[in-house]
Each structure stands twice: as structure tokens, then as C-alpha cells.
Amino acid sequence: MLQLQLRRLHLFCTVVEEGGVTRAAERLRVAQPWVSAQLRTLEKALDATLFVREGRHLVLTEAGHRFYSWASDVLAGSTQVRRDIENLRAGAAGSLVAATSMAIGTYLVPPLLSELRRERTGADITVHISEPAAALRTVTLGEADFAVATWFDELEPAPLQAEKLWEEQLVLAAAPNGPPDGDTVGLAELIALPLVGVPAGVAFDRMLSDQLRTYDVGELSYVMRLGHAEAMKRAVAANNWVCLAPSYVIADDVNAGRLRSVSIGDAKLAEGIGLFHRPSKHFSPLQEAAIEKLRNIAATRTVSNPD
């Protein structure tokens, strides 16, 4: 009975998120009439209208909005409870599922969680790496305990609790023998260089555009856009191009002589690092230890990167 009720809640939330019965049925791989019948059953049980039709679209009523908020929280909580019970049944020393954005999940989080795993040898640790919006959605659904992702001013983390941990300086990554000359560059010179960028519209791109506008710099022109920092760094090194990146992304490459780090002399550009979790989330000792490590790093980075 409980499983059936949760399935109905999941179906309702899917209809809301997909914007209609047809797309929800396709996503769930069930018949459209069955989806409609389940929605009618829900409305009858609640004695309330959850949707009204506007043209070809279903729109939530006020009751529907309230029910969606409640149902989303119930589904997220049920996912977390199932995971906790599975860990208890398996006798695990503790589990941690983190969601991260791309560069943060590639360079910042793995060393931290590797250290945690060495300290707690029975821990079960998983990291999902994706675009920030997808990482936050994973936490909202209860599929991850917390997210560590790029922070930008337009970010809308609701219904999650958001905490800005620190800011990481952006530098210009350049090939050892490529442009620009010297270890410092100004914005006027930077925009004339052959820049490699991230895909348009992703969090890092929006964050960078917002900051450049404060310096009256318009949209940058890129010779190529690539979806991962490793691909960007290879393109820079092979073609004498340049790219803007957080200093932690290129630190190993600079030490190995594969890239140069060029400071931006007349602007302060930075990537915000944010921590996101459900407000009602109860953290296990393992999860609390991971968050404490993140906050310890934040304290260190804040001292080393003062305003």
C-alpha cells in the first residue's frame, strides 16, 4: 500500500515536471490513460482540483502547488529513508552520496573524500558529477546527501539550504610558449586572445558573464567551447590558446610545466563554491565529517584569498 501511494506521488510530480500527461507517460513508460486515471484518483482522495487546463497545457491550481511541494518533500524523504535502512541492513559503517559540478567534482572533492575514506575504512562513498542544476536536483530528490557546486548570483537553490563556502580566484591558463607575454594580463588584452570557453549557458559561463559585465566587458568571443576542464586544458596546450579557469583546476599542470598561470591584473574574477542540502536533512557522522572538511578548506582558502 505504501509503495502504491509513493508511486502515485511520483507520477503526480512527474506530470508537473514534464508539463503534461503525455510527456510524463513517455518518461515513465506507461500508458497515458493510466496516468490520467491516477491523477483523478488523487484528486478524488484529496477532494481538490490539482490541475486546470489552459489551452494545450495543464497548470497547477493553488492546491496543486501546495500538494506538489509536499509530495516532493515526501519523495525525497522516502528515498533517504530507504538508503538509511539499506545501510543498516548491510551493516555498513556509513554511506555518503555527494553531487558536484564538473570541475569541483574532478579536482576539489575527490582528494577530500579520499582522505575521509582513509580515515574511515568501512565508509561507502559515491560522488555524482554533473552540471550544477542537475547536482542540486539530485539533492532535492533525496538521491544525494549534499551538493558542492558553482555558486553564482542568479542561482535559485530553493527548496535547498545554500551556504557559500569560499571564492576561488580565476586565472588565465596559457600554453608554456604561447600568448600572452608575461605573467599578468589586463582585460583589454585578454578579450583579444584566442579563448577556449565552456558551453554557453552553463553555470560557469553565466557566472563569468555576470562578473565581466561589472567591468563593462561584453560577451567574450571563443575559438571553441568544450564541456570539461581537461579537454579545455589540452586544447590550450596543443594550440597555444588560453582559457579562464579556477586556480585549483590548473595547479598540477602548472607544476608539471604543461601550462602557465597568468594573473588578471585589473579585475578580480572568482568562482564561488557553494554547499547545498535539504533543510530537514539529518546528517550521519560520516556526512558531518565530510562537511566539516569542506568548511575547514573554506577557512583556509578565505585566508589565502583575501578580498
Q: Is the domain of 12 the same as that of 70?
A: yes
User: Cell numbers at residue 265, please?
Assistant: 591584473
Q: Is the domain of 43 the same as that of 78?
A: yes
* Residue where a domain stops, chosen among 85, 114, 137: 85
Q: Which of 128, 108, 225, 215 is nearest to 168 (CA)?
A: 108
* Residue where a domain stops, chosen among 85, 118, 148: 85
Q: Is the domain of 28 the same as that of 68?
A: yes
Q: Is the domain of 67 the same as that of 28?
A: yes
Q: Which of 144, 132, 140, 128 is nearest to 83 (CA)?
A: 144
Of 13-17, 38-42, 70-74, 106-110, the range with the highest mean pLDDT is 106-110
| Type of residue at 160 | L
Q: What is the CATH number of the domain that holds 67?
A: 1.10.10.10
pTM (2 d.p.): 0.70
Structural domain range at position 78? 2-85
Q: In a 10 Å sphere around its CB, with 0-12 CB exposed, 13-18 middle and 19+ buried, how is residue 14 labelled?
A: middle
Residue identified by cell 557546486 is 149
Q: Is the domain of 240 the same as that of 181?
A: yes
Confidence of residue 91 (pLDDT cuts 50, 70, 90): very low
If one counts the domains in the chain, the total is 3
Mean pLDDT, residues 48-64: 86
Q: Is the domain of 25 the same as that of 53?
A: yes
Q: What is the CATH number of the domain that holds 100?
A: 3.40.190.10
Q: Is the domain of 157 the same as that of 277?
A: yes
The predicted-structure confidence for 260-269, as pLDDT tens digits, reads as follows 999 999 999 9
Q: Which of 199, 190, 147, 192 is nearest to 170 (CA)?
A: 190
Percentage of residues of the chain with pLDDT beyond 70: 93
The predicted-structure confidence for 158-189, as pLDDT tens digits, reads as follows 789 999 999 999 999 999 999 999 999 999 99
* Residue where a domain stops, chosen among 33, 54, 85: 85
